[in-house]
Structure formats: C-alpha cells, structure tokens
Structure 1
C-alpha cells in the first residue's frame, strides 16, 4: 500500500505544508498565513494541502511539525509556565545567583520562586556537601499549587546526576506526577549558568508544547488522519510527542534546521551555505554532510545565554515583510521591524499602506507578485539603492558564516527567496531549487528519527570497546522503537566521560543513532 507523510513548518509569516509520497516526491504544497494563535494557521495549511492532494487520508501515516511556538513564547514572554527555579549548589555557588544576566522583563516572569539548596558535586564527582533533602521537602510544600513546572540544576550534574534525580523524586512525591520537571543534566552541557538558563527556559515552555501537540493531533483527527506524530528538533531529526513535551526547548531553531535539511535534499548538495529568507528574518546556515553545522558558542534565546546544542546560524532582520522607510533627503532604513504575517494586507502591492522589501523587488521587476501599478510611482533610483543594500546584507551574512574565503555553493530557500538575485558575492553558484518556497516543510517531512541512550559502564568489567558497542546497539534499538528503519541507522554522536568518583573505572557513555522513518 502506498503511504504519505505530511510536513508542516511554522514561520513568523507563513505556515507551509507539503504532502510527500513514499519516495519523498512532492504531491502537494501550500503556504498559508501564520495566525496570531499559530494553531489556526497550522490547521488551515493542513486542510489546504490535503484537499489539493486528493489522496485517501487513511494512507497518511506520518505527520511532522516544525514549530516556532516555544521560541515565540520566550521572545514575547507570553504563555509561559509558572515555574520554580531550584539550584543545588549552596554554599559553593552563592556568589552568582540564578538568572544572572537574563533581561529584567524575563527575570520578572521566571524569577518569582528561586531557591538555593545545599548539595552538588565537584568536577570529579565527589559530593561537595550532602543534599539537603529537608529543604527540598519544604520548598515542595511552599510551591504546591503555585507552579506547574520546576527547573532543577545541580553543580556538575553532567558528571553526577544523583542530586538532581533525588530532587526530582521528592518534588514528584509531594506535587504529584502531573508537575513538569526539567533536569539540567538532560538538557545542557558543562557550564553552570548557561545550563541552568537552558533548563529554566525548557521548564517555562512545557505548557506551550503540550497545547501545540494536542492542537496538532486534534487537527489531524478532524481531517480523519490517524498518523504517527513527530516534532522537529534543532539537530535536524525528529522526536516523539512525549519527548517533545519533556524537552520542548529542543524545538527552538528547528525551523532554520528544517530549511537547511530541505535545501540539501532539494538541491542534492551535502555541503553548502543555505540562505532561508522568511517574512521577518533571513537565516544563514551551513550544511556539513547534509546536516546543519552545530554552534560551539553559547546561544542567546530571548536574551538568556544557554548552552544546549543549536545550529550555527547568522540571522539578520531582513525578510519579505521587512519595512522600508524612505526619507525626503534620499536616505532610507531597512527594518529591522516587519509586517510579518500581515504582508497580504499591509504591503503596497496588495493595496496596503506600508512599503516593504517585497514592494521594492516588485517595483524593480525583480519579482512578480501583487499589483505592480501600486508601486509604479516610487522613485526607481532610490529603490535601486535600497535593493543594493538588501543584497549587501545577505552577502555580509554569507561572509560571516564562511570558514574559508573560497567561493561556496549557496542555496536560496524560503518564501522571500524570490527577492534575491542568482548571483551573490562569495558564492560559486546560487541555486534556487524547485519547491524552494516550502523547503522548511519538506525538511520537516524528510527528517530522520533519532534514539539516544546515556549509561554508566564499569570499564574494568566490560572494557571500553565492548561498552561502546553495547551503547551503540542500545541507541539503535531506541531509534527503531521511535520509528526508525533499522537498515538505515547511523551513529551520529558518541561521547564518553570518565567518572573518577566511582570505582571500577566507570565511564558515562552517551550515544545517538538516527535513521529514516520505517
């Protein structure tokens, strides 16, 4: 029986949907405006693409969603959970309080219940002091009914998770299993403040993720689709709904990642620079072996420094809806604000009252859209200067992300990519592949499933080679459970950290495997 998969990606301006057959060929594609509540836009795009495709909905087996819900919630400080922040690290870490360096408005929302508890470990895994369990029980009673999510961070928990896990058990015991608990050892890497921030942000968007997931499943049911549902995560692979609700922070930046993956597939290139032009921003990233290059730096989200895995991106405030302001003296400004999803009502070519980058491209004959007579009165010479500056902004971003001066292929994708020429400085060639407008939704639909395991092995008993082999097999089994095809599995990540504090030459091994959907 032939099967189909639906891929949806939500951007700031458009929500894109594609339907692919089992050979990953595009059967139907659509763009609809992103709505303020996001969910309506997803539903509209899905309905449109299914109606257009005229396929039997029973044959749609998989549905993938790449969403900006969590990112938007953090950036706009809206819809966030009431959270408690618990750091296990007194007296060692009292000098730097939690949420240090986080913007004040975000601190006001997330910093209502902050606690420092005695405990934590040294970098070699020795206990600094015993965990103060009595204090944890007291905190649990205090926050009962006031918060719906708890972020727990312990000093050097990537080496020893013992205190975080004990704290989780105490909170679950007092507050019930309904409470969402985020542990820093499962989210960030070494580096206390950044890991703590990532955990706090994760805890703050659990409700957003839950609502999004439920809305998506319901929308599918309304169309008569009983599909396996997956969320896109920011390393270019998929995660199950349960996983997504536990680690919603991993959906941050999955949009650009999806675009990179989709661009690689459409242009049939494994190594290239991708420029994804949306309605509000352009994201420039780099493909290495068809996956996004990861950033080695701390990444800011909504003004908070974090250190979990993120794609290496240069983002500029330039998209199809970016507002252009012309001044009387021949000067002008481009952005950084955008009309976003209101482009179809705001842009001049659609009868609106705001000059956007899209209007500039249409007035100069670079793109065909809307009603060109509505921009015919504008000063062409000035617009040429504006357009020149737009191109320069993209070329600068390409230059920033490159690791060498050699010309590199550039793939243009995204709805706003029609604004740019197929010759750019620093590019050996510029490709705008077919279906490039919905590359993000395609990237979401063709993504692979991953499985990850993390275990402590005693090397004196099993030996390093055996331990790694065992871990690889388990990670592969995890990926198969999550829906990956066992013949297509590859190991994408291995990390082993010696644990000096445990006898028997103990080592913590983390392995990630990924493969195509079954």
Structure 2
C-alpha cells in the first residue's frame, strides 16, 4: 500500500492506494502550520479504512510550503548570488529584476567573478581563486548562510560552478550551495533567479522535510517519503532538502496526473477547481505540457521545469458579489476558512459553494441556510463561473483538434456537465485527484542543453541524450526496466555556429522500492 497527500491552500487531501485501487480517500482543512493538517488527514484515513502502518511502503506528498514562503517573503535565509562571467555580463548584475521586498527578505547580496563558457564549451575567462576566496570572506562578514552559484552556459559545462563551490565550502564549512546547472535551463538571468530562490529556501526545506518525516513517524509510518516535483515526478527527501524550488507547481501537476489516471485520457485539458483557484492545463502523453517560456514566480522570472498552467481566482471559497446582472466571483477567497465563513456552514460570507448548494448542484453543510438566496443570482454566478472556465480552456488550446475536458477537485461541483465545446468528464474520486496524482507519481530524468551536431551525427547525438536522461532517472530511483522516454524536443539554433541544436529529453520510470516492489 502507498499513501498520497496533497496540501492545498484550502484543503489537504489524502488517499490510501493498493496497486491501482483507491482504498480510502479523505479531504480535511489545511491548517496554518500545514503539518498538523497532514496528521489529521492520516488519522482520517485510518478511521475510514483501518490499515497496518507497517504495510505502507511509500508516502508521496505534494506541498505548498515553499511557494507560499516565497510569495509571502517569509522564512527565507540570507542569501548571496555569485556569478562567474566577467568580463562579460557586468551590465546586468544578479537580482537586477527582483521585487525590492524579496531582495530585502533574503538580505540579498551579489558578487561578480571571472569565469564562464561559450555555448560550445570555450572558456570566456579563467576563474580566479583569490576572487572567490574574497567572496567567502564577505559572506562570513555579512552572515550569509546560503549561496547561489551561476556561470555563463553552465548547462553546457558546469566545471567552473563546481570549482567555485569547492572553494567556498572549503573556506566556509556548512555553507549551503545551490548550482544553477542543476536547477535551471539555458538562459542566464532566469536560471540564476531560480537558483537564488532555491538557495533562499534551503534552510526552510530542512525544517519542513524533518517535520513531514516526524508527522509520518508519529502515525507509526516508517516508509520512505517522497515529494512531488513540478513535472509530475518524485524526489526523495534528500533531494527535496537540496532543491525545494522543484516543488513549486506540484499541486496542479498532481491534479493533472491524477486526472489522467482516473479518466484514462492521456491527452486532454484538465480543470482542477480547488477552494481558492482553478488551474487549467493540458496533458500530453499523460504528463503536463511544460511551459516553453520563462515563468514568473512571485514577480521573478525563472526557467526551471514548470507546467504550462493558467490559474484563475475561482474556487469553492471564492467570494460572490453583486446582483444577477453584474455578479462577480472571486478572485479573492475565504480559503481554508471556508468551513467557518461560508453561509452553508453558518458564516456570513456568500461564496461560490453557497451558490452551488442553493442551485441544487451540491449538498454541503446546511442547505437550509441558503434557502432564502435568490435562485436567479445563484444561477447567474454559476453561468459566470462556467463562462470564465470555458474561456480559459480555449486559451490553453494550441490546435483546432477536439480536446477532451476532464474536471477534478472538490470545487468542480461549480461546473456544468457540458461546455459549448463538448461534454465534461468528471471521473470517480475526482475530489481527491491531486492526492491520487501524488500517489501514482513516477521518477524522472531530464537532459536539456545545446549540442553541436556534426553532419551525419544527428541520430547518434539524440541517442546519447536519450540514454543520459534514462540514466538520470535510474540514478534518481527509477526501476531500470520500467524507464521510457516520453518527450524529445529538438530546436536548431541558426544564429549559432557549428550546427548547434538545443535538445531536451525527458524519461520516466516506476519507483524502485526496497525488496524490488515498484
């Protein structure tokens, strides 16, 4: 058996699965400290379907801890950025495009040093050890505990980043180091930004992961713990401590993977309606379509792996205002306070859940408390929700071909059974699709860099990139015989010499568990 848990802004969902079967599924309120909400969800699973904790061989969790910390500019470690690129890149220093409040939240400091490579591996300049040792002294004086190291074209050659890391940790034992070559893709500023974000979250990651492990042990579960990544794959707790930024979009990604599992659709649009937001994305071959451009996170441009998701401020807790002629829904929400503030629960705030109950779409709370609600207002609010969601689905389409629509999440009761474009599929266990997506997640490996492709060597270069992605998946914990390549992208770069081609390969496989169970 395995347990999948997804922590959302409003609800914490959990499922107990045995193979492909869902044995128990619960939805509990997310708590302010999050971990106590996980404890409540585990206890609710035990109540619904008694199980032996020793029979659980893995627990998978998708969490909002880290993205919330960045958005709130809270609990971030003092962080420095060290860039290897001089004499190039000096006109745009690290964090040049960051919101000031986030720079202040991390006590951000930036240092430029010599180093870096061209796209084909040629060196811009040699790193200077004395420069890096001088930076180490500055870090010590200013109490910096975490550092992000970036080097020009480090995804092509990470040698200088690793050399700088060795010097800094030699001078400052215990310094947390994040390397851009391990986090972001081609594009210096965006990759560097992602690395700085990751570095600022390293201390929080250690506390959170230790807290999650403690929650499981408190429930008598000593199985391995995995966290969901942005691309729908898993990472172990050691990886999570080093790369917390990889969890940022795990919520919508889990929902989309769960939708694929529950509906059987491998290519479709998925609408995940939660308590606070609706996330709309597209599945290709069972995995979320990834964003091809930089993604803004809390006002910071980044380029690490993120699903291409359109988020709307529409959910079960969204506030409803106005009359039937000018009704508005959201974007603000009562969030995890839904069970206290919604009218069906005795509160005084009119929410989307209230209008769904008043219109007969759902039986939640006490329907008698919204019996006096104008039926035409409720229907107008639901029409507005359906119109906005249908609009968003059209915006994520990239071709005129028919695209099935699968709706999941507890808030999907707000949506009709059919849009103008076609029917809506609402699978069994739709309310906890996110937790199911976490429970069924696989292990992945990815290669994304620029290769020089000599005439007649294209297939050999592709084969090498595919094998490297497969090897990365196996090294991350995938069962060797189960790994397959699910995505290959080639982009010839005509503006660079040497038949340069950007190649991205993604491979996934089933989790390799102790005793051979997978």
Indicate whether the TM-score tops 0.5: yes
- 1: distance between equivalents of 2:179 and 2:76? 18
Instruction: Report the number of matched residues.
Output: 505
1:148 aligned onto 2:151: no
Deviation at 1:454, TM superposition (A): 9.2
**Distance 1:367-1:272 versus aligned 2 partners, 3 A rule:** same
What pairs up with 1:48-127 in 2 under 5 angstroms? 48-110=44-106, 112-127=108-123
Task: State the Cα RMSD in Å.
Answer: 2.8
* Gap runs ≥5 in structure 1: 499-504
User: How many angstroms does 1:322 deviate by?
Assistant: 0.8
8 Å contact 1:8–1:64 — kept in the other structure?
yes
**Is 1:170 the counterpart of 2:164 in the alignment?**
no
One of 20, 25, 45 as aligned partner of 2:21 = 25
TM-score, length basis structure 1: 0.90
CA shift for structure 1 position 198:
0.9
Question: Is this contact kept in 1: 2:358–2:370, CA < 8 A?
Answer: yes
1:372 paired to 2:367:
yes
- Evaluate the alpha carbon distance shift between residue 410 and residue 142 of structure 1 in structure 2; reply closer, same or farther with a 3 A threshold: same
Asked whether 1:255 is paired with 2:251, we answer: yes
Q: Distance in 2 between matches of 1:152 and 1:120?
A: 11
Specify the alignment match of 1:358 in structure 2: 353
Task: Name the CA shift for 1:371/1:200 in 2 (closer, same or farther; >3 Å).
Answer: same
The Cα of 1:506 is off from its aligned counterpart by 12
Query: 1:480 offset after TM fit, Å?
Result: 4.2
Partner in structure 1 of residue 9 of structure 2: 12
Say yes or no: does 1:394 pair with 2:389: yes
Q: Secondary structure at the match of 2:258?
A: helix
How far apart in 1 are the matches of 2:367 and 2:9? 25
CA contact (8 A) 2:450 2:501 kept: yes
Per-residue CA deviations over 1:466-515 (Å, capped at 9, x if unaligned) read: 776677556545544544333322123568999xxxxxx99999865321
Distance 1:230 1:434, change over 3 A: same
Range that drifts further, 130-139 or 506-515: 506-515
Distance in 2 between the 1:101 and 1:146 partners? 24
CA drift of 1:160 comes to: 2.3
The aligned residue for residue 275 of structure 2 is 279
Structure 2: gaps spanning 5 or more residues: 493-498, 512-517
Corresponding residue number in structure 2 for 1:384: 379
Task: Note closer, same or farther for the CA distance 1:134–1:509 as it changes in structure 2 (3 Å cut).
Answer: farther
Q: Which residue of 2 aligns with 1:487?
A: 481
Contact 1:189–1:308 under 8 Å retained in 2? yes
> What is the distance in 2 between the residues matched to 1:411 and 1:305?
30
Equivalence for 1:445: 439
DSSP-derived class of the 1:434 partner: coil
CA contact (8 A) 2:76 2:200 kept: yes
Once the two structures are overlaid, the 10-residue window that deviates more, 463-472 or 28-37, is: 463-472
Structure-1 residue corresponding to 2:187 = 191
SS at match of 1:150: strand
Do structure 1's residue 339 and structure 2's residue 337 form an aligned pair? no
8 Å CA contact 1:408–1:429 kept in 2: the answer is: no
Q: In the alignment, what sits opposite 2:219?
A: 223
C-alpha distance in 1, partners of 2:54/2:86?
56
